[in-house]
């Protein structure tokens, strides 16, 4: 499910904190879609 988000597939981020933030955003978007059903 995390690979559906384009920025999480490749390592575009230079800082690990930015990569972690992108994973959090992807998880929030995934869970909000699941809860909206």
Neighbours of 22 (CB within 10 A): 17
Query: pLDDT band at residue 32, thresholds of 50, 70 and 90?
Result: very high
pLDDT at 4 over 80: no
Nearest-angstrom CA–CA distance, 29 and 15: 22
- DSSP one-letter string for 11-27: T--SSHHHHHHHHHHHH
Q: Residue 36, class by beta-carbon neighbours within 10 Å (0-12 exposed, 13-18 middle, 19+ buried)?
A: exposed
pLDDT at 20 over 80: yes
Which residue did the predictor score with more confidence, 1 or 34?
34
Closest CA to 30 of 16, 11, 12, 22: 22
Share of the chain above pLDDT 90, in %: 24
Across the chain, what does the average pLDDT equal?
Answer: 82
């Amino acid at each position: 499910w995390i690979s559906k988000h384009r920025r999480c597939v490749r390592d575009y981020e230079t800082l690990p904190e930015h990569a972690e933030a992108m994973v959090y955003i992807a998880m929030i978007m995934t869970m909000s879609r699941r809860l909206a059903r």
